[in-house]
Every structure is written in C-alpha cells, then in structure tokens.
C-alpha cells in the first residue's frame, strides 16, 4: 500500500478539487491509500454522498487557515495546524507515508519542505520540475522553475541529474536529451555560469547532454529536460504557458467577431477543444519538487480535480519507481566535485 497525503485547503477550488481528485486517484490505483488534511467538518461534508473505499481514505483534522499575504517562514513556524504544515510534519514523522500533494502557496511549501523534511543525502538544493507538452505530442521537463533564483554550476548539474532521472523513471523516457537554457546554441554563449555549467554537463557521464537550448525551441520536441536557474526557468515556463493561453483567448475572441468565423469554428469545434486541452496545464499534473527527502508535488493554485488526480499519480509513480534512492546513488558519483 502506498500512502500519500493530500493538502485539501490551499488552491482556488478547495476543498472540492483536492477531494474529487483524491477519490478519482483511489479508483484508479487499488494499492493507494490517501490521507486528506484540512478542516474535518468541511471535508466530511465534501465527501458526503460520494462513493469511495473508506478503508483507504483517512481525514487528518487541520483547521488552521494560511492567509494569502503570510510570510512563508511565519507559516512554517506558526501554522502547524494548517492543512499544509500538518501534512509536511506527518510526512516527516511517519515512515509509512511516502509523499504529499499540495495546491497551496509555493513559498510556504518550499520553505516548509526544506526546513521540516530536509534533502536527499548529497543534494545541495531541491528544485522544481514542471512538465510541458511539446508540439510533437511528447513532453519536456524544466528544472529549476523557481525554487532557487541564485545558483552555481554544481546546483545546475544536480538539477540536470535529478530531472533526467525523473523523466526516465516517471515518464519512461530513456536517456532523456538534456539541454542547458541559454541565449544561444554555441558553447561559449551566455555568462560565466552558463559556460562553466556547459563544461560540467558535458563531463557528466550519467547525462545525455545535447548542448544549449534557446527558449524559442522549448516546445520543439528536440529536448526532454531543460536545465535552468530558478529565475530564467520561471520566466521560460510562465512565458510559454502565458503566450499559449493568451493566443487561444485571442483566437476565441476573434471567432466571435464575425458570423462567418463562428460557422467555421463550429466545423472545427473538436479541434479547438483538443488544442485547448493540449495547452491546458491541468492535464500535465503539477510541478514536482526534486531532491527533498520525501516526495512533494505542487499543483497549480487553480488546479481542478483532474489536475490534483494527476499530481497524486506523479507522487505515486515517483514512490513506486524509488526515484529518491536513484537520485541519491547518482548524485553520490559526483560528490567529489567541490560544491
């Protein structure tokens, strides 16, 4: 039995999205057991009248609420009975629990995970690795996308190793083609950090390093893993998601501007639905935090049930594939490197 915690109070659609996502995940995976954290009364109300295997669902009462403008460090220190902190502490204290999923505040989750959970031995800095769909039907992982705004080449190499193992073990991509985000493809492009990292990635035998990638090629399907500092990785992911959503919004608006277009769009309605689903991050799960001692998956604040279900699935696969142990083994090979 794999046990996973689900923080049910944090995102925009709480608690219905986490609860319904949890029930969907339970139906699909018979060896999954879920622990929902949050206000017990509200959770029971949400579960009322729904069919599920009660033996595999537990409610952990955690009534405190985290405010939007609370500092992450204050949350970690003072809100031990919030649905998120309760989950983090349980994850730390109970050996039988493998992972947690949250759609709450990113800052509080990262800080809480770092302070309370700690890291996989050898990992300097845990990093986020969200997944985006590519234009040829594949996926690409970007690591880091915001957990570390200031990094060294040693950090970036670890991000590359962790993300590469993640794509291989959770998504079945053999020898993921791993690239470094840079301002040009040539080895000498970018700042000192990029040039140093380029060399380091080239020397790392565990990696299938394919060189620098320019941001315009993220969706090309030519890359499986893109390594970046948390600042530019964040810019990359949000610019890509933002542009796709804005463009689809514009096309929709333009369609409604003329009857002729509306008629055309009617014929193409299935296609537009597919494009929308294709670019909808809800269908690709959350951004996993790689490198913490136990598995943490962060869903978008706007996650609906389907997105939460995907997050649980990601956490499940990370645990089943014993990703943490593999990260530890691989990272240890390069521990001689001066960090």
The footprint of its own copies (CB under 8 A) covers: 135, 146, 149-150, 181, 183, 190-192, 194, 214-220, 230-232, 234-236, 238-251, 254-255, 258, 260-261, 263-268, 271, 274-275, 278-279
3-state secondary structure of 14: coil
Rounded distance between C-alpha atoms, residue 57 and residue 29, angstroms: 13
CA angle, corner 57, sides to 113 and 6, nearest 5?
25
In terms of CB distance, is 11 or 190 closer to its own copies?
190
In terms of CB distance, is 121 or 242 closer to its own copies?
242
In terms of CB distance, is 25 or 218 closer to its own copies?
218
| Enclosing H/E stretch for 327 | helix 323-332
Least Å distance, CB 191 to its own copies, is 4
Give the contacts of 238 (CB within 8 A, at least 6 positions apart). none
In terms of CB distance, is 42 or 139 closer to its own copies?
139
In terms of CB distance, is 302 or 329 closer to its own copies?
302
Residue-wise burial string across 230-269, b where 16 or more C-beta atoms lie within 10 A, e elsewhere: bebbbbbbeebbeebeeebeeeeeebeeeeeeeeebeeee
Least Å distance, CB 332 to its own copies, is 29
Least Å distance, CB 194 to its own copies, is 8
| Enclosing H/E stretch for 131 | strand 131-133
Strand 225-227 relative to strand 139-143: parallel, antiparallel, unpaired?
parallel
Q: Pull the structure tokens for residue 287.
A: 């951004």
In terms of CB distance, is 268 or 332 closer to its own copies?
268
Least Å distance, CB 43 to its own copies, is 30
In terms of CB distance, is 48 or 259 closer to its own copies?
259
Q: How many CA atoms lie within 13 A of 180 on its CB side?
A: 29
Q: Are 141 and 169 in contact (CB under 8 A)?
A: no
Q: What is the DSSP letter of 65?
A: -
In terms of CB distance, is 171 or 278 closer to its own copies?
278
3-state secondary structure of 7: strand
Least Å distance, CB 6 to its own copies, is 25
Bridge partners, residue 128, by sequence: 289
Classify 230 in phi/psi space as left (phi over 0), alpha (psi -120 to 50) or beta.
alpha
Least Å distance, CB 229 to its own copies, is 9
Map tokens 């996989």 to a residue.
120
Q: Are 127 and 113 in contact (CB under 8 A)?
A: no
In terms of CB distance, is 19 or 180 closer to its own copies?
180
Least Å distance, CB 239 to its own copies, is 4
Least Å distance, CB 210 to its own copies, is 17
Least Å distance, CB 256 to its own copies, is 11
């Amino acid at each position: 039995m794999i046990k996973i915690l689900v923080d049910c109070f944090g995102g925009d659609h709480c608690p219905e999205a986490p609860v319904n996502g949890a029930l969907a995940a339970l139906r699909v995976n018979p060896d999954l057991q879920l622990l929902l954290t949050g206000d017990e009364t509200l959770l029971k109300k949400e579960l009322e009248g729904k069919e599920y295997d009660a033996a595999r669902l537990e409610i952990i009462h955690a009534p405190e609420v985290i405010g939007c403008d609370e500092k992450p460090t204050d949350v970690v220190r003072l809100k031990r009975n919030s649905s998120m902190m309760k989950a983090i502490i349980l994850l730390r204290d109970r050996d039988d629990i493998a992972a947690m999923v949250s759609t709450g505040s990113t800052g509080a989750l990262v800080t809480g995970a770092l302070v309370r959970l700690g890291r996989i031995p050898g990992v300097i800095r845990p990093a986020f690795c969200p997944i985006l769909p590519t234009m040829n039907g594949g996926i690409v992982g970007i690591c880091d996308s915001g957990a570390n705004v200031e990094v060294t080449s040693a950090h970036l190499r670890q991000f590359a190793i962790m993300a590469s193992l993640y794509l291989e073990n959770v998504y079945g991509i053999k020898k993921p083609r791993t690239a470094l985000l840079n301002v040009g493809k040539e080895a000498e492009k970018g700042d000192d950090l990029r040039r140093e990292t380029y060399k380091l990635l080239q020397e790392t035998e565990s990696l299938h390093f394919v060189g620098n990638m320019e941001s315009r090629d993220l969706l090309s399907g030519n890359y499986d893993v893109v390594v970046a500092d948390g600042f530019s990785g964040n810019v990359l992911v949000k610019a890509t998601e933002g542009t796709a959503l804005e463009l689809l919004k514009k096309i929709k608006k333009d369609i409604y501007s003329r009857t002729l277009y509306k008629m055309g769009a009617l014929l193409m309605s299935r296609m537009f639905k597919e494009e929308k689903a294709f670019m909808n991050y809800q269908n690709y799960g959350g951004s996993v935090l790689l490198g913490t001692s136990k598995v943490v998956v962060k869903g978008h604040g706007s996650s609906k049930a389907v997105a939460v279900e995907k997050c649980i699935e990601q956490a499940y696969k990370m645990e089943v594939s014993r990703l943490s142990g593999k990260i530890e083994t691989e990272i240890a090979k390069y521990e001689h490197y001066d960090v």
